[in-house]
Amino acid sequence: MNIVLLGAPGAGKGTQAAKLVEDMGLCHISTGDILRQAVKDQTELGKKAKEYMDAGDLVPDELIIEMMKERIQQPDTAKGVILDGFPRTTTQAVALDNMLHELNRPLDAALLIDVDPEVIVKRLCSRRMCRECGHIGTAADAACPVCGGEMYQRDDDNEATVRNRLDVYDKSTSPLIDYYRGCDLLVAIDGDRDPAEVYAEVKSTLEGLDK
**So which residues are the catalytic ones?**
13, 88, 127, 154, 165
Closest by CA to 36, choosing from 19, 14, 20, 17, is: 14
Task: Choose between 144 and 173: whose C-beta lies nearer to ligand AMP.
Answer: 173
Task: State in angstroms the smallest separation of the CB of 200 from ligand AMP.
Answer: 24
Cα(45)–Cα(173) distance, rounded to whole angstroms?
22
Distance CA 96, CA 91 (A): 9
Using DSSP's 3-state secondary structure scheme, residue 6 falls into strand
- Smaller CB separation from ligand AMP, 52 or 94: 52
Min CB(95)–ligand AMP separation in Å: 10
Are 49 and 33 a contacting pair, CB within 8 Å? no
The DSSP bridge pattern shows strands 136-138 and 186-190 to be: unpaired
Give the integer Cα–Cα distance in Å for 161 and 155: 9
Min dist. Cβ of residue 150 to ligand AMP (A): 19
Give the nearer residue to ligand AMP in terms of CB position, either 41 or 210.
41
| Residues of this chain that bind ligand AMP (CB under 6 A) | 9, 31-32, 35, 52-53, 56-59, 64, 85-86, 88, 92, 156, 165
